[in-house]
Structure 1
């Protein structure tokens, strides 16, 4: 069994998820809108943790290794590696998909939450040794670290969590969508515009995944919406397998 997954995101009117690029059309700043609404709405789901990709987590974990850094062991892929999960002791989970093991956290906690990294078997040995020294929990999810269902089943089995928030970025959200591992979508649409010719939306594919659709046809069920302060619109949808 895997946890119930809610993809909770905030976007501009034209669908961008990169607030640094937005131009507010309201009387308040973009930062003020996000601070006022995003976490408040997320808290209403009473989730037991949150999930992001490596790039998003790098804003919270100060150490990130250069992808070109290697050693003699380097990125030689192991066919099998052992998970190293530690008790969370009742703390919420802060989960990051970091396939190549580039994050370098110095502690097992992140602002009072229990950090868990999801790695690929391709992750270099020296990266794993760093996590062991820091006491950070980690698990392996396939060769490329993108076996979403395997990762969720391991997390559910060890930590007993039933509900988690998925909070980006776009590539990580796309992995979950294609795996059929999203149960609900929650979007906050702000009165702001990106206006760029290309930008990241809620779901995105890598070049190798560009022709890959979701694991199974999905039905989208509208659950409702709320008009919040500052003109922010909060919409919720449930995803179910099409019959």
Structure 2
């Protein structure tokens, strides 16, 4: 979704297609990267630190394990500002590295945000997903960006199904982000092959393409 598309009423109506698809899929637990969470949900709130005089062990903190749905953020170094344990009615889980500060963890504990550790200084996605499944019984995640997080999941072979909405507009900008962005130094394969499962035409000439991930080549 391009912020530079403007506030034209037709464009605004088209962008609602994404939320409609989100609801139609029916999987309420979703995961995004720090930049997306900061821009679209926490609105660039500064991280909050609680003044403490003790250390906090690097153990996963499960504040709530029976929520109907979860909002999950990948935030390796604790840069997101949380003031509530809920986001859009869903319990917040943040995925951190052990490099995060104790004062940040103390605040998360105080407001009831759950967190798990997945790496010493860099996020290990397979470890993160295994913990989300084991500690919170999460079987299916909706991966919703941004491009770097999507690319990391794709690179690790952690995406089973891909849904793409094609909107009937074009902007021609050369700086538009890709759906999947992988640093060349981190690339594990040349490409990921997809198999088309379904094509649906939605309102306003929007196309909804559903793919199964086939293989990495």
TM-score interval (norm. to shorter): 0.7 to 0.9
Q: TM-score, normalised by structure 1?
A: 0.77
2:141 is paired with a residue of what secondary structure? Answer: strand
Residue 197 of structure 1, CA deviation: 1.8
User: Which of 69, 74, 77 pairs up with 1:100?
Assistant: 77
Residue 124 of structure 1, CA deviation: 2.1
User: Which of 150, 153, 160 pairs up with 2:137?
Assistant: 160
The equivalent of 1:57 in structure 2 is 37
Query: For the residues of structure 2 that align with 1:133 and 1:144, how far apart are their CA atoms?
Result: 24
Which is worse superposed, 90-99 or 120-129?
Answer: 120-129
List aligned pairs for 1:135-214, cutoff 5 A: 135-205=112-182, 209-214=183-188
Residue 222 of structure 1, CA deviation: 0.7
1:127 is aligned to 2:107:
no
2:142 is paired with a residue of what secondary structure? Answer: strand
2:110 is paired with a residue of what secondary structure? Answer: helix
The equivalent of 2:203 in structure 1 is 229
Query: For the residues of structure 2 that align with 1:184 and 1:135, how far apart are their CA atoms?
Result: 32
Residue 233 of structure 1, CA deviation: 0.9
Are the aligned partners of 2:78 and 2:96 in contact in 1 as well (CA < 8 Å)?
yes
Name the Cα RMSD after superposition.
2.7
The equivalent of 1:43 in structure 2 is 23
The equivalent of 1:10 in structure 2 is none
Residue 145 of structure 1, CA deviation: 4.1
Residue 29 of structure 1, CA deviation: 2.3
Query: For the residues of structure 2 that align with 1:49 and 1:32, how far apart are their CA atoms?
Result: 25
Which is worse superposed, 48-57 or 38-47?
Answer: 38-47
The equivalent of 1:238 in structure 2 is 212
Query: For the residues of structure 1 that align with 2:210 and 2:91, how far apart are their CA atoms?
Result: 28
- Structure showing greater relative contact order (alpha-carbon pairs closer than 8 Å, 6 or more residues apart): 1
Which 5+ residue runs of structure 2 have no aligned equivalent? none
Residue 171 of structure 1, CA deviation: 0.8
CA deviation profile, 1:119-148 (whole Å, cap 9, x unmatched): 112222222222112111011111234211
Query: For the residues of structure 1 that align with 2:176 and 2:150, how far apart are their CA atoms?
Result: 15
Are the aligned partners of 1:54 and 1:96 in contact in 2 as well (CA < 8 Å)?
yes
Q: Which runs of 4+ in 1 moved over 6 A?
A: none
Residue 90 of structure 1, CA deviation: 3.2
Count of residue correspondences: 211
Residue 86 of structure 1, CA deviation: 2.1
